[in-house]
């Protein structure tokens, strides 16, 4: 470990381990500008097992100190991360544009989402319900046996490994939702940067690390490593000091992490957000009333960000009809005009191309987007098939990450329900329905509830609100743990567990469950919610 | 499937699949009276894969109907199970006494705990917070983009497999905590009866099945199978229609179920409560003030129910001192006088004997309880060792299920903390501390929080209150999922997951998140808890 983190935004090409800049020893990795088709300086190098060990040792050492920091101080720390990110916004957006090919406006918005998430969790900490405080007061006169004094609160699980996502270089990367919620919970975080944006990762990592130092928190509260998923990533997940994992990425990588975590001597939870084709059900009256509008809006959602969203609408289900043909015609006209933008990385572009090629063999091609000279741009694609083919084909149900979608023509509403019943777990399902469709929608809804974490009507699944009621999650394989959400205030719960305190002397009780409610938080006393 | 469930308490020796009595086809199993050393009629037979298939198919078919039953009706159903159990209380207790060798008073109390749990979950359903209702109202004028209407509630995971426990033939068996919380959540349940009490299981199973029929619920809401863990148990856990598992038992069996569930094409959560030695830390002033009292009370907790509790105090940690010797002398005197009672089964007795024999090779024997003629009774055992030996020995840290405990002599308080840091995850840790011990206790507490689900002071871990603040859980290997509790009102959360409803028409919204709060429940609206 060579030097302290500087406060400039000149990139160093180094990792950050517990506040120190450390040069990797392994393979070289550089940012890649997918628009220009050229590599970016500086050169980063992968970490080795000694770096994983150092980061995890520091995180474990930091844990007791960090988790015992009062909620207000942890809230201020999250806010200072947000401020540090805002202080480098222009440099950060410029670097992220270079590394991802995403538009400046999108990335400026993503900075806002990232800092907004950090501030939301600061609010969660101040509100205090995250403590899960419960008190069952002693009943010394109860017969046949007295009841002891029993209290409950939530504590942090321990150091958390976070994997940066390619498609949200800010909001689901180094200081994104997983990091923010884990830090809020009181967990030190070790991030594995995504190779797709190493410079963006360093800039944000330094913003976090500077905030750790300025707040006087243990240095091991945050580290940032570079490395390959199968090597450094697995080493991180299997390190015995890591107690939970946050991941957004492919199904193959996610299931590998889940398997590695399950095979540990002490298995740990993995929150992997992996795969979703986000079905859209078009009901008859909605199509009759506004087929062309829905078709155009559908393509807008499909091609947004080159389709590189977890919630991209990759499947459309409707009864075959002239109205569906109107929808398809409008979608086709919109799609062939869509300007193809660069994809995030050459690998993602290549996977998209082979995914589309595979669909060509199994479904009918309706339209391709315009071709382009951009080196890693991929034209959108729209296919159709019938319900029976869809239900019997694994290929047609696989996620194609990018702006490709498949329309499933059904013979009737009953077959639409059969398609709903036949799909795997999803992050979202969407229904377009007008008043006369309500009965059909009502019959569909119980199946949709079992298939997705979020059900939306008359909108599009891209665009995930960060709030209290959001669920960004869903049954396997959308995620590895359907009981949680990775977006929104409830994400903090992923990194907490309850502890019960029975007849613990008042002098030793944490403030969340102390007599007199010094934190003025909501608590469940004898089963009843109260702020008293 | 031959006949409907009768309402008499004559045992039929049959399984229950979706309301029908079904004779097994496999190995025979009979109840065994461990006090008399004799087998009991009738003969049960293990189910085969076709029975697993039938029960799971019925559960899957029942799921949508059962989960959509209003909370009030589900609450009344749970209460009617409790009433049905009370109606057969005398026969049930008599049979359970025969099958387990546990005292009548204990089993009568366990009936009360079982019916109390069912009624507690009825209360949880009526109170309504289990819905996890959250509403972020639409903000149509928000800039730059309007916010949609976003609502969240929890829904049932799906059919649940429950494994009856040997040591709580009622409270953690057929209609025990796992079944009650899963049914409360809206999940159909398929129980695998424990071989240690087949007749008790049939009686309770019929009480549940009768309640299903009387309430007009789908027949597949409940089934009861007999079979071996490695065969029928694994078949049940790997059936694709099962979506979660509740288990209380040995570490070997629990880890096998966890591994089987993780290896499914769709992994599912397993809530396995497996292994705990429940350390007791004796601090200096408490020992100085009341060493002999603590010693006698310790043996009372240790030998209760022949030590067959998950929370049995199997480990005592203290600084070597004359006061510790006083504690040991009092414990020894109490232990040699303790009347050895029968253990639950010959297998459990044999495992206890070999566990104690293994300890003899690694620790110093302080005392054995009185021998007895009872065929499967096992005398209590008390050992001692030093901290260094303990920390370096896997054998000394292994759970011996039964009334055996090990005293770890430490050189100072720092070494007590080292022992605390060195132990595996536990259900409970206990501290005996008086006023002058508070500083030592404060230094110990952060480590104890990371090691256990429940921390108790100046009491004994046996005796688990069923309430709102209880945590019966803890880090691996105490359980397979430290984020939950298997006892108390929060146990329902294990079988729920959140679903988000975005811009869903009011006519389709479930009542928990409908406008106007028709259920009058606590909801989080725009982040704030309210009953409005």
Region class of A118: left (phi > 0), else alpha (psi between -120 and 50), else beta? alpha
Indicate the range of A1-10, A55-64, A335-344, B24-33 predicted with least confidence: A1-10
B374 CA to centre of own chain: 28
Q: Is the pLDDT of residue A20 over 60?
A: yes
Integer CA distances (angstroms), A20 to A3, A12, A14, A58, A220, in order: 6, 12, 9, 11, 10
A6 touches chain B (CB under 8 A): no
Q: What is the mean pLDDT of residues A230-236?
A: 97
Q: Which two tokens stand for residue A392?
A: 């019997």
Above pLDDT 70, what percent of chain B? Answer: 98
ipTM: 0.96
CATH architecture of B12-30+37-274+484-493: 3-Layer(aba) Sandwich (3.40)
Domain with CATH 3.40.605.10 in chain B: 12-30+37-274+484-493
Q: C-alpha distances in angstroms, B242 versus A246, B54, B261, B264, B266? A: 26, 12, 10, 11, 10
How far, in Å, CA of B396 to CA of B201, rounded? 35
Query: What distances in angstroms separate CA A508 from CA A502, A521, B425, one per listed residue?
Result: 11, 19, 21
Strands A150-156 and B270-273: unpaired
Among candidate residues A276, A528, A234, A214, the one with its CA nearest the CA of residue A401: A276
Q: Above 50 in pLDDT, residue B5?
A: no
Per-residue pLDDT at B446 exceeds 80: yes
Q: pLDDT of A475-516, one tens digit each?
A: 999 999 999 999 999 999 999 999 999 999 999 999 999 999
- Say if CB A119 and CB A181 are below 8 A apart: no
The CA dihedral of A466, A469, A472, A476, to the nearest 10 degrees, is 170
- Residues of B whose CB is below 8 A from A60: none
The beta-carbon neighbor of B457 closest among A129, A463, A505 is: A505
Residue in B136, B469, B475 closest to A500 by CB: B469
What value does the mean pLDDT take over residues B343-358? 91
Q: Could you say which of B446, B502, B522 has the minimum Cβ distance to residue A454?
A: B502
Q: Is the pLDDT of residue B12 over 90?
A: yes
- Cα separation, A402 vs A169, whole angstroms: 16
CA distance A454 to chain B (A): 4
Helices (H), A367-412: 387-391, 394-397
- Give A9's pLDDT tier (boundaries 50, 70, 90): low
CA A38 to chain centre: 28
Closest C-alpha to A432, from A404, A456, A405, A403: A456
pLDDT band at A374 (very low <50, low <70, confident <90, very high): confident
**Rg value, chain B, Cα:** 25
Distances in whole angstroms, Cα of residue A504 to Cα of each of A129, A420, A510: 21, 52, 10
What are the structure tokens assigned to A375, written together?
A: 């080196």
CATH superfamily of A12-30+47-126+156-274+484-493: Aldehyde Dehydrogenase; Chain A, domain 1 (3.40.605.10)
Q: What CA–CA distance (Å, rounded) separates B34 from A13?
A: 70
- Say yes or no for a CB contact (<8 Å) between A469 and B497: no
Closest Cβ–Cβ partner in A155, A468, A503 for B457: A503
Task: Compute the distance between CA of residue B525 and CA of residue B532 in angstroms, rounded to an integer.
Answer: 9
Q: What is the phi-psi region of residue A222: left when phi exceeds 0, alpha when psi lies from -120 to 50, beta otherwise? A: beta
Average pLDDT score, chain B: 95
If residue A180 lies in a helix (H) or strand (E), which one and from where to where?
helix A177-185
- Mutate which: A160, A297, A500, A504, vs B, most B CBs within 10 A: A500
Q: Is there a contact between A438 and B508 if contact means CB atoms under 8 Å apart?
A: yes
pLDDT greater than 50 at residue A402 = yes
Calpha distance A462→A450 (Å, rounded): 20
Q: A482 and B526: CB-CB below 8 Å?
A: no
Q: Indicate the range of A412-416, B92-96, B339-343, B466-470 predicted with least confidence.
A: B339-343
Omega before B477 within 30 of 0, i.e. cis: yes
Q: What is the largest CA-CA distance in chain A?
A: 82
Are A470 and B150 inside 8 Å of each other by CB? Answer: yes
The structure tokens 């410029």 sit at A94
Task: Check residue B303 and give its pLDDT.
Answer: 93
Residue with tokens 């007008």: A434
pLDDT of the residue at A376: 83
pLDDT confidence tier of residue B9, bands split at 50, 70 and 90: low
Q: Give the number of other CB atoms < 10 A from CB of residue A105.
A: 11
Kindly state the tokens that stand for B348.
Answer: 């459990």
Neighbours of A150 (CB within 10 A): 26
**Per-residue 3-state assignment (H helix, E strand, C coil) for B120-144:** HHHHHHHHCHHHCCEEECCECCCCC
User: In whole angstroms, what is the distance from residue A37 CA to residue A343 CA?
Assistant: 11
Tokens read off for B250: 């040995």
Q: Give the pLDDT confidence score for residue B372 in this predicted structure.
A: 76
Peptide bond into B280 cis (omega under 30): no
Residue B484, both tokens: 């939950």
Distance to chain A for B8, nearest Cα, Å: 31
Chain B residues with CB-CB distance to A68 below 8 A? 446
The pLDDT of residue B371 is above 70: yes
- Calculate how close chain B gets to A375, using CA atoms only, in Å: 32
Say if residue B370's pLDDT is above 90.
Answer: no
User: What is the per-residue pLDDT for A371?
Assistant: 80
List B305's β-bridge partners, or say none: none
Interface test with B, best of A142, A241, A474, A502 (most B CBs within 10 A): A502
Rounded CA gap, A132 and B87, in Å? Answer: 38
pLDDT tens string B173-227: 999 999 999 999 999 999 999 999 999 999 999 999 999 999 999 999 999 999 9
Which residue would you say has higher pLDDT here, B429 or B394? B429
B199 touches chain A (CB under 8 A): no
Q: Give the residue from chain B lying closest to A472, CA to CA.
A: B500
Name the H helices within B101-233.
104-127, 177-185, 198-214
Return the percentage of chain B with pLDDT > 90, whole number.
92
CA distance B22 to chain A (A): 30
Helix (H, G, I), strand (E, B) or coil at A225: strand
Close Cβ partners of B186 (under 8 Å, ≥ 6 residues apart): B66, B67, B68, B69, B74, B155, B156, B495
User: What is the Cα–Cα distance from A104 to B75, expressed in whole angstroms?
Assistant: 54
Chain B residues in contact with A455 by the CB 8 A cut-off are 499-502, 504
The token duo for A39 is 């590599």
All residues at 6 or more sequence positions from B495 whose CB lies less than 8 Å from its CB, including other chains: B156, B157, B160, B181, B182, B185, B186, B187, B244
Question: pLDDT tens digits, residue range B242-271?
Answer: 999 999 999 999 999 999 999 999 999 999
Specify whether the CB–CB gap between B140 and B146 falls below 8 A. Answer: yes
- DSSP code for A321: S
A275, burial (CB in 10 Å: exposed 0-12, middle 13-18, buried 19+): buried
pLDDT at B4: 43
Question: Could you give the 3-state DSSP secondary structure of residue A238?
Answer: coil
Produce one character per residue of B148-175: b if its CB has 16 or more CB atoms within 10 Å, e if not: bbbbbbbbbbbbbbbbbbbbbbbbbbbb
Contacts A505 to B, Cβ<8 Å:
433, 438, 441, 457
Residue with tokens 């396995």: B272
Question: Contact, A425 vs A452, CB < 8 A?
Answer: yes
Q: Which pairs from B252-261 meet CB under 8 Å and 24+ separation?
A: B253/B229, B254/B477, B254/B480, B255/B477, B255/B480, B256/B229, B256/B230, B257/B163, B257/B229, B257/B233, B258/A262, B258/A267, B258/B480, B259/A262, B260/B234, B261/B237
Pick the CATH number of A279-457 from 3.60.15.10, 1.10.260.40, 3.30.2320.80, 3.40.309.10: 3.40.309.10
pLDDT at A5: 43
- Return d(Cα A511, Cα B375) in angstroms, integer: 52
Separation CA B309–CA B296 (nearest Å)? 18
Whole-number average pLDDT of chain A: 95
CA B498, CA A472: separation in Å to the nearest integer? 10
Render pLDDT for B25-72 as a digit per residue (tens, 0 to 9).
999 999 999 999 999 999 999 999 999 999 999 999 999 999 999 999
CB A313 within 8 A of CB A280: yes
Cα separation of B24 and B324, whole Å? 55
Is the pLDDT confidence value at A58 over 50? yes
Mean pLDDT on A109-135: 98
Active-site residue, from A310, A334, A378, A399: A310
Q: Which of A148, A267, A483 sits opposite B465 (nearest CB)?
A: A148
Kind and range of the H or E run holding A315: strand A315-319
Which residue(s) pair with B498 in the sheet?
B154
What is the pLDDT at residue A232?
98
Q: Where in chain A is the domain with CATH 3.40.309.10?
A: 279-457
- Residue-wise pLDDT for B403-428, tens only, equals 999 999 999 999 999 999 999 999 99
**Residue B192's beta-bridge partner residues?**
B163, B225
What contacts B450, CB < 8 A, 6 or more positions away? A155, A158, B475
Beta carbons within 10 angstroms of residue A456's beta carbon: 25
The pLDDT value recorded for residue A284 is: 98
Cα–Cα distance, B198 to B92 (Å, whole number): 12
Q: Are A217 and A189 in contact (CB under 8 A)?
A: no
pLDDT for B375 equals: 76
Q: Is the pLDDT reported for residue A372 higher than 90?
A: no
Q: How far apart are CA A348 and CA A35, in angstroms?
A: 14
When pLDDT is averaged across residues B468-496 and rounded to a whole number, the result is: 97
pLDDT at B6 over 70: no
């Amino acid at each position: 470990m060579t030097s302290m983190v500087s406060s400039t935004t000149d990139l160093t090409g180094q990792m950050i381990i517990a506040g120190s800049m450390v040069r990797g020893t392994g393979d070289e990795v550089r940012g890649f500008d997918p628009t220009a088709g050229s590599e970016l300086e500086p050169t980063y190098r992968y970490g080795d097992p000694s770096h994983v060990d150092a980061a995890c040792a520091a995180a474990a050492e930091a844990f007791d100190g960090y988790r015992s920091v009062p909620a207000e101080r942890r809230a201020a720390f999250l806010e200072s991360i947000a401020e540090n990110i805002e202080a480098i916004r222009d440099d950060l957006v410029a670097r992220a544009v270079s590394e991802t090919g995403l538009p400046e406006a999108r990335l400026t918005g993503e900075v806002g989402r990232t800092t907004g998430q950090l501030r939301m969790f600061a609010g969660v900490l101040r509100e205090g319900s995250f403590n899960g405080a419960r008190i069952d007061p002693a009943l010394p006169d109860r017969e046949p046996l007295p009841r002891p004094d029993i209290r409950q609160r939530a504590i942090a699980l321990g150091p958390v490994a976070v994997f940066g996502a390619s498609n949200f270089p800010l909001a689901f990367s180094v200081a994104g939702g997983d990091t923010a919620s884990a830090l809020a919970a009181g967990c030190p975080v070790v991030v594995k940067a995504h190779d797709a944006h190493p410079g963006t990762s360093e800039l944000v990592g330094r913003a976090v690390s500077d905030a750790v130092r300025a707040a006087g928190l243990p240095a091991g509260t945050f580290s940032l490593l570079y490395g390959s998923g199968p090597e450094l990533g697995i080493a991180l997940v299997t390190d015995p000091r890591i107690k939970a994992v946050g991941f957004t990425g492919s199904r193959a990588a996610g299931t590998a992490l889940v398997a590695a975590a399950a095979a540990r001597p002490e298995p740990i939870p993995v929150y992997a957000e992996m795969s979703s084709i986000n079905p859209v059900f078009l009901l008859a009256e909605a199509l009759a009333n506004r087929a062309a509008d829905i078709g155009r809006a559908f393509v807008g959602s499909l091609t947004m960000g080159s389709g590189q969203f977890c919630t991209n609408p990759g499947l459309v289900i409707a009864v075959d009809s002239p109205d569906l043909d109107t929808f398809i015609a409008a979608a086709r006209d919109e799609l062939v005009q869509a300007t193809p933008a660069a994809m995030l990385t050459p690998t993602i572009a290549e996977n998209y191309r082979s995914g589309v090629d595979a669909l060509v063999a199994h479904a009918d091609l309706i339209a391709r987007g315009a071709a382009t000279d951009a080196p890693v741009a991929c034209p959108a694609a729209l296919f159709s098939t019938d319900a029976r083919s869809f239900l019997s084909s694994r290929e047609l149900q696989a996620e194609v990450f990018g702006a490709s979608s498949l329309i499933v023509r059904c013979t009737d509403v009953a077959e639409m329900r059969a398609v709903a019943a036949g799909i795997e777990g999803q992050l979202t399902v969407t229904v377009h329905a007008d008043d006369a469709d309500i009965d059909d929608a009502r019959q569909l809804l119980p199946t949709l509830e079992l298939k997705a974490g979020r059900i939306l009507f008359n909108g599009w699944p891209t665009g995930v609100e960060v709030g209290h009621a959001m669920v960004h999650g869903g049954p396997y394989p959308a995620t590895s743990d359907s009981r949680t959400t990775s977006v929104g205030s409830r994400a903090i719960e992923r990194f907490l567990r309850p502890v019960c305190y029975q007849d613990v002397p008042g002098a030793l009780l944490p403030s969340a469950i102390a007599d007199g409610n010094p934190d003025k938080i909501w608590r469940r006393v004898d089963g009843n919610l109260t702020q008293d």
